[in-house]
A and B are shown apart, each in its own frame.
Chain A
Amino acid sequence: MENVLNKEIKEIIDACPEVGRILDEYGIGCVPCSVGSCLLKDVVGIHNLDPEQEATLMYRIEKAIYPGRNVPKPVVDKTKKSAPKKISYSPPVKKLVEEHVLIKRLLALIPTIVEYIEGSIKVDKDLILKCVDFIRTYADKYHHMKEEDILFKYVDEKAEVIQVMYKDHDTGRAHIRQVVEGAEKGNKAQIKEHLFGYRDLLTQHIKKEDEILYPWIDRQLSTTQVGEIFRKCNEADASVGDELPRKYERFIVELEEKFLQEVAK
């Protein structure tokens, strides 16, 4: 089983799809992951399951991979802490989770925006570029850069889970480049495809961060590191000024007002 623990999850699921179904039962959604390069041991460890749950999960995975093998009954490590009932973030991580809320508000508007663009005679380039500006400046520069330049530096950046996050950020940037190209050409299909691509990617990405990655990072941080990250994030925010987040919050409010009216028409 030791060598299976060190295998990439996609390779394991491809060889034995039952493993994907078992992981799904435990709320570990690796099957739809486009990368799947996390090692099985990291995938299980990051979810901070109860010792009983983890032992049973590993037992079931081993039975699925080696059906003919006489797999010993689960050994429960009672020294491991149980998963907390509710997620409690450290202050700097909590701030990042709060920033996700504004990004999710834009993601929620994307279907309505796409519908509006499809129904318009001419592509509203100004609207698209304003949304792109929010994504590039608020979501990417203001938010993702704090993750990439500060938070991720406090864990093993080579860990597959972190690499997946970097890849998601890059894939998101590629979608947005395509959206800009679509807006320049007036290509509605291209705008639609890549706005929805960005929405689907970021929806999953934020869920992974809020529920899995951030709590996993928080569990590894010492009190001193939490203080350092808090200070560095505050310095990063101060370097762009208080007005930037306020400006983009106002933009989202205006967008919501505009498109809620569109929906109500």
Chain B
Amino acid sequence: MSGCPGSKTIDFSEKTNQEGSETGKRPSQLRQWPIQMHLVSPQAPYFQGKDVLLAADCSAFALGDFHKDYLKGKSIGIACPKLDSDQEVYIEKIKSLIDNAKINTLTVMIMQVPCCFGLAQIAKEGAEKASRKIPVKQVVVGLEGNILSEEWI
């Protein structure tokens, strides 16, 4: 078992422990467009005074109840700290979201793989550069969609 944990091949298609219900339709909780961090503008009305979720690209696919438990009631920006370019732009955008859009809180959701912690670092740097201070929460999602940790940082 070697190589990058972020791109290592793992197959859990045989997973049998599937708690929860699949009945009923789940409405999307997305209330904005665009969502990619290079495309969103901190001046967008949907960010003003809101709780913002900065989610790693993979997290919404891993987490079964992403919409219901984490996106609901929040505005969102998504990014990949491993593959995206010009990530210093993200730091400036987070700073602007805090100082100019006066967002209420920032929740950064990352996968458990080490490269994903880069997104938490981006969030921290943006928050530290901002003159306003807000609560920042980090949520770490396991590869099989379980919440490994959820804490204010």
Size range of the interface on B?
A: 10 to 19
CA distance A227 to B51 in the complex (A): 8
CA distance A223 to B151 in the complex (A): 11
Contact present for B105 and A92 (CB under 8 Å): no
Residues of chain A within 8 A (CB-CB) of B107 are 223
Tell me, rounded to whole Å, the shortest Cβ–Cβ distance linking A77 to chain B: 15
The interface residues of chain A lying within 8 Å CB-to-CB of B137 are 223
- Residues 195 to 246 of chain A near chain B (Cβ within 8 Å): 223-224, 226-228, 230-231, 234
A89 beta carbon closer than 8 Å to chain B: yes
Check B31 for interface membership: any CB of A closer than 8 A.
no
Contact A224 B152 (CB under 8 A): no
Contact call A224/B73, Cβ cutoff below 8 A: yes
Q: Does B48 contact A (CB under 8 A)?
A: no
Task: Count chain A residues whose beta carbon lies closer than 8 angstroms to a beta carbon of B.
Answer: 14
Q: Is the CB of A223 within 8 A of B51?
A: yes
CB-based nearest A residue for B50: A224
Given A227-B134, A228-B104, is A89 in contact with B51 using a C-beta cutoff of 8 Å?
no
| B residues less than 8 Å from A94 (CB atoms) | 152
Decide if A231 touches B152 in the complex (CB within 8 Å).
no
- Interface bits B93-107 vs A (CB < 8 Å: 1, else 0): 000000000001101
Contact pick for B152, options A88, A228, A234, CB 8 Å = A88
Check A29 for interface membership: any CB of B closer than 8 A. Answer: no
CB of A56 closer than 8 Å to a CB of B:
no
Q: Distance in Å from the Cβ of B47 to the closest Cβ of chain A?
A: 13
- Flag if B134 contacts A230 (CB, 8 Å): yes
Residues of A within 8 A of B134 (CB): 227, 230-231
A91 lies within 8 A of chain B by Cβ:
yes
The answer to whether A88 and B151 touch across the interface, beta carbons within 8 angstroms, is yes
Answer whether residue A90 sits at the interface, using C-beta atoms and an 8 A cutoff. Answer: yes
CA distance A252 to B96 in the complex (A): 39
Among the listed B105, B133, B151, which residue makes an inter-chain contact with A224, where contact means beta carbons less than 8 Å apart? B105
In the complex the two chains form, is A90's CB within 8 Å of B152's CB?
yes
Please encode chain B, from 121 to 135, with 1 for each CB lying within 8 Å of some chain A CB and 0 for all others. 000000000000111
Q: How far is the CA of A41 from the CA of B73 in the complex (A)?
A: 32
- Considering the complex, which residues of chain A in the window 81-125 have a beta carbon less than 8 Å from any beta carbon of chain B? 88-92, 94
Given contacts A223-B51, A224-B73, A224-B104, contact A230 B151 (CB under 8 A): no
26 contacts between A and B (CB under 8 A): A88-B152, A90-B135, A90-B152, A91-B152, A92-B135, A94-B152, A223-B51, A223-B74, A223-B105, A223-B107, A223-B137, A224-B51, A224-B104, A226-B105, A226-B152, A227-B51, A227-B104, A227-B134, A227-B135, A230-B105, A230-B133, A230-B134, A230-B135, A231-B104, A231-B134, A234-B133
Given contact pairs A94-B152, A227-B104, a sample of 20 additional A-B residue pairs in the complex whose CB atoms are under 8 Å apart:
A88-B152, A90-B135, A91-B135, A92-B135, A223-B74, A223-B107, A223-B135, A224-B51, A224-B73, A224-B105, A226-B135, A226-B152, A227-B51, A227-B134, A227-B135, A228-B104, A230-B134, A230-B135, A231-B104, A231-B134
